[in-house]
Amino acid sequence: MKDAAPLEGDRFGTAPAPRETRHLIGHEEAQAMVRTAWDAGRMPHALLLGGAEGIGKATLAYAIARFVLSGGAAPAHSIAVASDHPTVRQVAALSHPDLLVLRRTPNDAGKLPSMIPAETVRRVRSFFGSTAALGGWRVCVVDTLDEMNAQGANALLKTLEEPPNRALFLLVSHAPGRLLPTIRSRCRTVPLRALSDEQVVQALETLSTSLPTLDRSRFTEAAAAAGGSVREALGLMEGDGLAVRNATNVLLDGLPDADPKSLHALGERLAGDRGGALDAFVGTVEAWISDHATGRRQTHRLRLARLPEVWEKVRRAAVDADVYNLDRKTLVFRIFASLNEALRP
């Protein structure tokens, strides 16, 4: 397998990375589509797996990779390869000779770049230009396309335009609509829906074997608040995430008359938590803004023209607080001041 040093960012704590996860939850339609195309001898040369973060896109990509690289060694109507198959171990260890993974990896200084370097993407040409080591398919997983700049995207496009025989691209994206139209047009788009609350709970139960500190009594609450994302549920269960979400929702529902004491208390809670509290706070506010922008929620008369501006203020304030370790209480008051401004007639 051609890849740089392992990246710990593709896992959550000690949870298995997507390439190591053998029990795929949900996305039955996508799995059936792959199996049908394989059985008919009509596998697309590129699948664009799109959907929200944390719903299992990368896990599905590696499941498809195992299936294809094993030569379809799965029971009828399934893409699940037996756990004792050599391909399963090779993909988990990133050692399969016919698998190329493009992702962000730490540089020599140990820092993670914000984008997949273009020189990394250019390895696609030589990878697909050579003969498959095991005489079968060659598979390239890109996790994610959203982390590829224009140079990298153009380098990838060159091979997508003229794919060799028995080559498969598995492209993961959180926002397929923002990708280059020329890339989208050369892929079969596979839109993936958020998981149900029950499926999120099922995933948490599975993960609890490798994350023994997870509190099973909170699984249902975390799943209901996670919007179908296992990653979001894990984040909410880290530290004060769930409590912060609940406190933030109470304050949002109280706008424009949010209780100052409660704002102070929320700021104090964020200041004392270095787990998932900050992400939970920002995510809750963003979801509240999104719900009003799309009409899913109508508890306030927000000026629609102001919503993009408020959204940007929230994101910028959150990034500054995280990067520069700014005072969390100040962050809370800044964000609620912006929301109050948007509520003015």
- Residues 248-296: tens digit of each pLDDT: 999 998 888 889 999 999 999 988 776 678 888 988 998 888 887 777 6
Q: What is the pLDDT of residue 28?
A: 97
User: For a pLDDT cut of 90, what percent of the chain falls above it?
Assistant: 62
Residue 167 forms beta bridges with which residues?
138
Which pLDDT value is given to residue 299?
59
The confidence score (pLDDT) of residue 9 equals: 41
Three-state DSSP class for residue 182: helix
Residue ranges in the chain whose pLDDT is less than 50: 2-9
Q: For residue 153, give the amino acid letter.
A: A
For residue 2, the cross-strand partners are 100
The pLDDT of residue 3 is: 45
pLDDT of residue 319: 77
- pLDDT given at position 50: 97
CA distance 3 to 95: 9
Kindly report, residue by residue over 317-336, the tens digit of the pLDDT: 877 777 667 788 898 998 99
The alpha-carbon radius of gyration of the chain (Å, integer) is 22
CATH node for 18-191: 3.40.50.300
Three-class DSSP category at 143: strand
Give pLDDT, residue 108.
82
Q: What angle (nearest 5°) sits at the alpha carbon of residue 73, between those of residues 70 and 5? A: 30
Question: What is the greatest pairwise CA distance in the chain?
Answer: 68
Rounded to whole angstroms, the Cα distance separating 143 from 9 reads: 11
Which two tokens mark 147?
Answer: 């982390």
For residue 235, the one-letter residue type is G
Contacts of 192 (CB under 8 A, 6+ apart): 27, 30, 49, 50, 51, 55, 56, 57, 60
Q: How far is CA 56 from the centre of its chain?
A: 7
